[in-house]
Amino acid sequence: MNKKKPKHTSNTIALNKKAKHDYHLETKFEAGISLLGWEVKSLREGKVQIVDTYVHMQNGEALLIGANITPLNTVSTHFVAEPTRTRKLLLNKRELAKLAEATQQDGRTCVCTALYWKNHLVKAEICIAKGKQKHDKRATEKDRDWGREKQRIVRDNTRQ
């Protein structure tokens, strides 16, 4: 009769905030992920970390390396769950060619920035990224702090 409401209204499973701090993100792609059943159950519970993930091109395939999906306690004892296994990303040939070409350029890499639900499927947002130097990180932080300070000044002046 009454349908159960979903636990989360947000479609986001996990974000990689460190990637935005460490890299200049350029081109974004949406990729499907080849997962096992226990991994999907763990993702529904939000037991995933994608902080140090990156995408490696091998034999014309894109592989997600470094994603840590923690197994649930309900996983059967006769099945060995490997939390950090390499997972295949599902992309079309054109997107794979763009990724391969971009990662071969000097200083470019491909990182996973987010995992999210799209209908009943798990999707990964991957970005072609170029590493930031230390002074770039400081400039980004300085701009962010100045933006906050401007908001405080405007807020305080409008109250009076």
- How far is 62 from 79, CA to CA, in rounded Å? 26
CA 34 vs. chain centroid, Å, equals 15
- CATH superfamily of this structure's domain 12-132: Small protein B (2.40.280.10)
Q: Is the pLDDT of residue 37 over 60?
A: yes
Question: Which is nearest to 51 in space by CA: 26, 84, 87?
Answer: 84
Least confident of 38-42, 65-69, 76-80, 138-142: 76-80
* Stretch 121-145: mean pLDDT: 85
